[in-house]
Every structure is written in C-alpha cells, then in structure tokens.
Amino acid sequence: MKRAPSGISPVIAVSKEAAKSLYKQVYEGYRQAIVDGNLRPGQRVPSTRVLAEELGISRIPVMSAYAQLLAEGYLESRIGSGTVVSTSLANRGAAPQARSNSPAAFAPNRRKLSKRCGSLPSAEGFFRRRSLLPFSVSQIAFEHFPLQIWNSLVTRHSRSASARSFDYGDPMGSRDLREVIASYLRTARGVRCEAEQIVIVSGSQLALEISARVLLDPGDRVWMEEPGYGFARGIFAMNGCQMVPAPVDAEGLDVASGVKRCPEARAVLVTPSHQYPLGVIMSASRRLQLLDWAERHGAWVIEDDYDSEYRYEGMPITSLQGLDRNRRVVYIGTFSKVLFPSLRIGYVVVPADLVERFLSVRFAMDLGPPTLPQMVLADFIREGHFSRHIRRMRLIYGERRSTLMQCIREQLGTEAEVPGGQTGLHLSVLVNGISDVEIAARAANQNLSLAPLSPSYMGKASRQGFVLGFGSTAVQDIAAAVRKLSSLLKSSS
C-alpha cells in the first residue's frame, strides 16, 4: 500500500457558531474525507492535540470524534505510529471521487481546450516504456558514474548551506556554473561565449521552448531535420509554428532542399555534431551554406548539441555556433548524456544582443533553476571530475560502440547500413523492406529495446531501421542482443 504523507490535517470545516456540536463536525468531516478518498487507508492522521490546535478548539471534542471513528472502524490505532485510517477499507474498491473523475463522466464538447495542445505527441507511456534493456536509447552507464565524488559534493554543499542558498537564485542560473560551462564550451566545443550569454535551464527541452518563444511567432515556419528528434516537435507545435521537414543525407541537413521547400523559414533546428537519429555529422560545406542562408534570410539557427562530448574517431567536431559571425545561432547543450538525465540541467548560449529577451521569457515561465544541483555541478566541473569522467567514459562507451559495430557487421552483414556512429551513445541501423514498428513491438516481448526509426519522420518514412542505444548495454551483452535483432529481422522477411 502506498504511504501518504503522515500527520497532515484534512480540510474540514469546523465552526464554533454552528448549531452542530464541535464533536459531530469533526466526526462527520473525517468520515466524509475517508469516504471520498481524500484520506486513504493506512494514512496517518494528526494527533488529537495537533488537530485541536489547528482547528482552534479544545481537545475534548476531537478526542470524542476520534473515539467514535475508531469504534466504527474508520480509524485504527497502531502502536508506535499513532492513529491511521483503517487499512481494512483498502478492499472496498476505488474511492467514489476517483470513479467520478473518469473521462466518461464529462461531456467533452463542454470542455474546450487549446487546439495547439491537441496536436502534441502523447507523453503517455514514455516513462513506463523506459528500461535498461539492451539498446535502450538515452541511457547511460550508471555503474561507472563517480557516485562517491558526486555524493561528497552534495554533502559539502548541503552542510554549508546559508540563508542565501535557500532564497531564489539568479534566474540566469548560478554565476559560478555559467563561468565553468563557458570555459568548457570555449575550449572543448569551440563555442564563442561568455558566462553572461549562458542561461541555465532544466534540459534541452526547456531551452528549446524558451528559444521558440523568443524567436518565433505563431504561423512562422521552421525547418526540422527529416528524420529528426521527435520531442522537439511538441515545442514548435505548442508555439503554433509550422514545421517544414528538411531531408538529412550523409552530410547532414540538406540545405538546398530546405531552401527549395521553404526559403522564407524563420528558423531551423539542427543537430550538426551528431544528427539525431541517423548519427551523421554535418559537413563543413553544409554548415557554411546553412549559416549563409540564415544570414541572408534573417533566420535563426537553433543548434542542439546533446551528446558530442563522446567522440570515438578523430577530434571532437566543433560547434556550428563557433563558425557563425553574425550572431544567428542559439546553441543548446545538456548534461543528460554526458552525466545523467535525471540531473535535468542544460544550458542555452544566447547571442549577446538577445540575452535580455531570453531572460525575460525564461523568467516569465520559470523563476530560475534549483540552486543545490548547480553548486554541486559547478564544483564537479571546476575540480576536474567532469573532464576525468568524460575521458574515462569515452573509453568505456568506445568499447561498447566498436563491439556493437563489429557485431552488426558480422551478424547483419550487408543487410544493414550504419550511417554514422562516431559520436554519442547511440547509432542507427537502417534495414530495407521491414516494418520497424512491428519488429520493435516483438523485440519488447523478448527483452530487447529497439527504438523504431520511422516515427522520427514527420512525413512518410523513406527508411526503416532502429536507433540502438549502447550507453547502458555492457560489452558482454551486445553480441547476444544483436543476434536477437538478427533473428527478429530474419523471421520478419
């Protein structure tokens, strides 16, 4: 049985002026709260002393009401844990209120909602479907995270917390953290930035939402990579933008195709360092074409650089933002892959002249990021743990990735094409003549997580295949997982 927070007083109306006795009011108030399901079986109720104090009445009517509720079986006494709502009531089915909340109880035509939200992709099941099965996407090698170091930093900052650290922080994010991120981005990612241009957010998703609100109006058109990152679509849909699919090939987003389809788009969302989901890297000439188009048409480039810290062949690819001389690029980064997703810390590097706008939109949506995790992260980076972690994980993930590539070559042979695969924590395998969604559903029954590629297309999918995450898949499990994939493919052909 789920435990509700204990000892919190239920809302019951008690008036000394009422004709009904105080005892009866308390008794009836509690009984109703229990019958309605506002107080649940096993939930602890406040002591008679606390409740009498909160209601501003004497303890005697409260004691009498509790005695009556105990006698009738609504409450029970537990040695050591006070008085709780009777656990035997748990067997009586759903609370009446929960039942009357079922969608069928309301007429939908009298419950008008925004049209924009109706077109959002469903989030239902996202969390439920997440798993640590082989090939789960966006999972990290949790067992290699330097938890001890992280915990010691959490303890350090929790112990030294001051009155200031309990207050609202800087809505841009902690200055300390922005300084270390700026220095890291200049050095490792070739981003041209100062701490003053960085806004700390709760992940790329919020960064995108703020960017859309600052840069775009309803009806504006936005190029989206095709195939692309599905979660980004909800942002632009919510902001009333029209998304224009721009095809991706071996060189990344095809700028000429984008221009042909919609030259007057106001913005483009790109993942140039590691295209999601295909994994290709945007070529230098495409980068220059894109920046040139953006400058000539007054368009914005939103660069999502979500996992390029882990590059396994050659030098890291520098950011598109670093090439831009016209302040056209908004650069988004996240710690979800390089550290862990539940940290919920990301950042936007904003062109200097737009900082004020970004800040006011951010502030209107969310007064600022939580303080403690930022302090911990700033020290984690400043004290060298971050760069050590990246170096170590690059070897671990690198081995997983090369094992996966080799198994794909050996077991799937020419049947499968892997377009990218030099960066990040996932790669895509493209296979002709299959239904990736169907195979993925069958794989789930065999404890294999295959993310089908086709839903990454806004239009008709021109390729089928799977996005394979290798972040949380140990080297020794990879061959068996690819064998499973291979037999799923064989049985479907």
Ligand X SMILES: Cc1ncc(COP(=O)(O)O)c(C=O)c1O
Q: Rule CB under 6 A: which residues touch ligand X?
A: 138, 203-205, 229, 271, 276, 304, 306, 334, 336, 341, 346
Cα(12)–Cα(31) distance, integer angstroms: 10
| Count helices and strands in the chain by DSSP H and E runs | 17, 14
Report the nearest approach of ligand X to the CB of residue 424 (Å).
9
CB 453 within 8 A of CB 467: yes
CA-to-CA distance for 305 and 303, rounded, in angstroms? 6
* Nearer CB in complex with ligand X: 74/226: 226
What's the min distance (Å) between Cβ of 6 and ligand X?
Answer: 34
Comparison of 203 and 368: residue with beta carbon closer to ligand X: 203
Q: What is the DSSP letter of 122?
A: P
CB 338 to ligand X: min, Å: 10
State which H helix or E strand residue 488 sits in.
Answer: helix 475-492
User: Please, what is the minimum distance in Å from the beta carbon of residue 237 to ligand X?
Assistant: 17
For strands 346-349 and 75-78, give the pairing.
Answer: unpaired
| Minimum CB distance to ligand X, residue 70 (Å) | 49
Report whether the peptide linkage leading into residue 218 is cis, meaning its omega lies within 30 degrees of zero. Answer: no
Nearer to ligand X, 342 or 493 (CB): 342
Minimum CB distance to ligand X smaller for 42 or for 419: 419
The token duo for 82 is 């006070």
Give 304 or 324: the residue with its C-beta nearer to ligand X. 304
| CB closer to ligand X out of 239 and 334 | 334
Least gap, CB of 281 to ligand X (angstroms): 14
Nearer Cβ to ligand X (41/373): 373
The CB-of-201 to ligand X minimum distance in angstroms stands at 8
Give least dist CB 344 to ligand X, A.
Answer: 7
* Cβ nearer to ligand X, comparing 61 with 424: 424
Q: What's the rounded Cα separation, in Å, for the pair 391 and 379? A: 18
Question: What minimum distance in Å lies between the beta carbon of 233 and ligand X?
Answer: 12
Q: Which is nearer to ligand X, 205 or 473 (CB)?
A: 205
Q: Residue 302 CB, nearest distance to ligand X (Å)?
A: 11
Residue number, 27 or 335, with CB nearest to ligand X: 335
- Number of Cβ within a 10 Å radius of residue 474: 15
| Residue 174, CA distances (Å) to 7, 26, 102, 132 in order | 36, 48, 43, 33
Q: Which stretches does DSSP call E strand in 113-254?
A: 198-201, 221-226, 242-249, 252-253
* Maximum CA extent, the chain: 86
State the Cα–Cα distance between residues 363 and 33, nearest whole angstrom: 38
Nearer to ligand X, 241 or 278 (CB): 278
- Give the shortest CB-141-to-ligand X separation in angstroms: 15
Give the nearest residue (CB) to ligand X: 203
How far apart are the C-alpha atoms of 136 and 290, rounded to whole Å? Answer: 32
Per-position DSSP letters for 377-409, written without gaps between them = HHHHHHTTHHHHHHHHHHHHHHHHHHHHHHHHH
Instruction: Tell the smallest beta-carbon distance from residue 22 to ligand X (Å).
Output: 52
Pairing of strands 329-334, 300-305: parallel
For residue 128, CA distances in Å to 38, 124, 456, 473 come to 26, 8, 20, 19
Rounded CA separation 61/315 (Å):
76
Residue 189, φ and ψ in degrees, nearest 5? -120, 0
Which of 84/338 has CB closer to ligand X?
Answer: 338
Q: Which strands form 329-334's sheet, in the order they lie side by side?
A: 198-201, 346-349, 329-334, 300-305, 267-270, 221-226, 242-249, 252-253
